[in-house]
Amino acid sequence: MKSNKIAESFNLKASECLAAGKYTEALENYNQSLRFAVNKSQMLSDAYAGRSKIYYEVNQLENCLKNIKKSLQTCINDEKCRKIESLREKCLDQINLSTSEKKENVTSEFFKLSHPQHKRVPFIAGCLEVRENDVYGRYIATTSDLKPGDIVVIEEPFYKVLDPKRRHTRCAICLKQNMLNLFPCVKCSNAMFCSRVCSESVVHRYECNDSKDDSFDKLLLQRMFYQAIEITGSLEELQKLMNRQTSSKTILDFDFSDPKNSMNDKNRILATTSLAEREPWSAEAYAKYESVTQQLQIETEDERKFLQNYLVRCLKSMTVNFFHFFWSPTKIEGQGLALCSLAAYFAHSCDPNVEKIDVDNKFVFITKKPIKAGEQLFMNYDRFSFLTHTLKDRQDYFNKIYTFQCACNACKDDYPMLNKLPRIDEKFIEPETKFESIAVAKLQYQKNCDYISANMDRYPCYEICLLMIQNYRLLHAIGNKLPF
């Protein structure tokens, strides 16, 4: 619900953070203020004006001007308008003096595939393929040797939703952070957007409300259906698409080489609905699909049955294939929930050879250790590894959440946790926990990868595992650190 009183409380918090030089916290609080501010009110103008001051301070001048423009559109206080205009003049002067305000784009320059891309699926390395056996079902393997630090997959999850507690930090549709330069839905307080395209999404027309009690999995289930309706155009067309699905296919069975192909999104629907399925954790979970249909007019019994079967199928697929977004390397709880067409085929290991790093709205998969051609690629589910959790805790967790018993080497041989691992190098210097810049982080990351490669024959050991932990934090910083 829109409320200028709530918006004002966040505006005051933002002003305090700004005065203390805590720019990220200030931006997040200004975004909270924007979420709740009544449309076309002075409070809306004040929040945009506050953000413009921060962007000016950190030399994000284009973002500064965008916020000034939005602030002036609803400003009715003459004195405040004059101050905003004054900042606009200073910003324009600064732009004229600067040759360029562009900074290093760490995402595009660092997070690139390390091998030639797949011919049909451009966001994965061409050396990867999906295989199948009785133990893992479908799984991912490599046809080429891989070394530590190789980037093999950069996948934007097809279906993704944001933790309701983080609605002020990312776009409700695409989940991009956009330097926190977001604008709110004019009707509800539950969504912010990064662009006009996202704000005009059909998906949000269904989701536009001020409900506070939707669970994470219900939000994803809704998104899976609403997004499919947006792509196909109607329930009838979605039904026709699903009726054409004669066999279970993986994403590698489709051709996405042409980004303008109108069938790309429809094929992603087919690839995602072909993922493995499992019964939900409780019978009550089936009740969740019922609320999804309330905003739609179901005209025939045939449509009702199709919709029921489709949502139950989505629910079963989501139950076993979901991923969490972790934009912080230290937070335990996921900040977003997603379903992927390719990454779902990574099997779990408590001692994985691949690391998942969440970079903006994408999952980047990077090798942690050397992998030989023909070997399977494993990731770690939900940050449960032998370094941080006991064998019993891991087995109990995976039995409960995923209904399987892990049989990786760390479980079979009961690897000790980090501080009890053997030490192999008397000259080893423990890495610094802080670094001066992203450039320094990149150099340290490459140095760590070289050490891991050179000493892998003595794994598992304290030194390599400690560097793997640091690499995870370094990669998060390189991919997600704001430049202020």
CATH number, domain of 402, equals 2.170.270.10
Q: Does 334 reside within a domain?
A: no
Please check whether residues 273 and 237 belong to one and the same domain: yes
Q: How many domains are there within the chain?
A: 3
Nearest C-alpha neighbor of 221 from the set 304, 299, 307, 140? 307
Please check whether residues 233 and 118 belong to one and the same domain: no
Q: Does 330 reside within a domain?
A: no
The average pLDDT across 399-418 equals 91
Q: What is the pLDDT of residue 287?
A: 66
The average pLDDT across 40-52 equals 96
Q: Does 271 reside within a domain?
A: yes
Please check whether residues 295 and 182 belong to one and the same domain: yes
Structure tokens at 147: 């070394």
Task: Tell me whether residue 461 is exposed, middle or buried, using C-beta atoms within 10 angstroms of its C-beta: 0 to 12, 13 to 18, 19 or more.
Answer: middle
Computed over every residue of the chain, the mean pLDDT equals 90
What is the phi/psi pair of residue 20, to 5°? -90, 0
C-alpha span between 362 and 356 (Å, rounded)? 10
Q: Does 180 reside within a domain?
A: yes
Q: What is the pLDDT of residue 107?
A: 52
- What contacts 248, CB < 8 A, 6 or more positions away? 274
HSE value, Cβ hemisphere, 13 Å, CA-based, for 48: 28
Task: Name which residue leads in pLDDT, 36 or 222.
Answer: 36
Structure tokens at 36: 């709740």
Torsion of CA 181, 334, 358, 434, to 10 degrees: 90
DSSP 8-state assignment for residue 131 = E
The three-state secondary structure class of 151 is strand
Contact by Cβ (8 Å): 195, 214: no
Please check whether residues 431 and 358 belong to one and the same domain: yes
Please check whether residues 46 and 29 belong to one and the same domain: yes
Please check whether residues 376 and 291 belong to one and the same domain: no
pLDDT tens, 240-286?
Answer: 999 887 777 899 999 999 999 999 999 999 999 888 877 765 556 66
What is the phi/psi pair of residue 128, to 5°? -90, 145
Please check whether residues 58 and 118 belong to one and the same domain: no
Residue recorded with tokens 């982080």 = 441
Range of the domain at 186: 159-324
Structure tokens at 238: 């979605």
Structure tokens at 167: 């609605």
Task: Name which residue leads in pLDDT, 428 or 281.
Answer: 428
C-alpha span between 95 and 289 (Å, rounded)? 52
- Report the sign of the C-alpha dihedral through residues 43, 54, 474, 358, in that order: positive
CATH code, 79:
1.25.40.10
Q: Does 375 reside within a domain?
A: yes
HSE value, Cβ hemisphere, 13 Å, CA-based, for 384: 20
- What contacts 286, CB < 8 A, 6 or more positions away? 280, 312, 315
**Among 268, 296, 324, where does a domain finish?**
324
Q: Does 331 reside within a domain?
A: no
The average pLDDT across 444-452 equals 96
Distances 337 to 91, 257, 299 between C-alpha atoms, Å:
38, 27, 32
DSSP 8-state assignment for residue 125 = B
Q: Residue 446 CB: number of other CB atoms within 10 A?
A: 14
Q: Residue 209 CB: number of other CB atoms within 10 A?
A: 14
Residue count of the chain: 484
Out of 97-106, 150-159, 218-227, 352-361, which region has the weakest mean confidence (pLDDT)?
97-106
pTM: 0.92
Q: Is pLDDT of 228 > 70? A: yes
Percent of the chain with pLDDT over 70: 93
Q: Does 128 reside within a domain?
A: yes
Strands 362-367 and 151-155, by their bridges, are antiparallel
Nearest C-alpha neighbor of 359 from the set 336, 388, 376? 336
Q: Does 227 reside within a domain?
A: yes
Structure tokens at 432: 């610094």
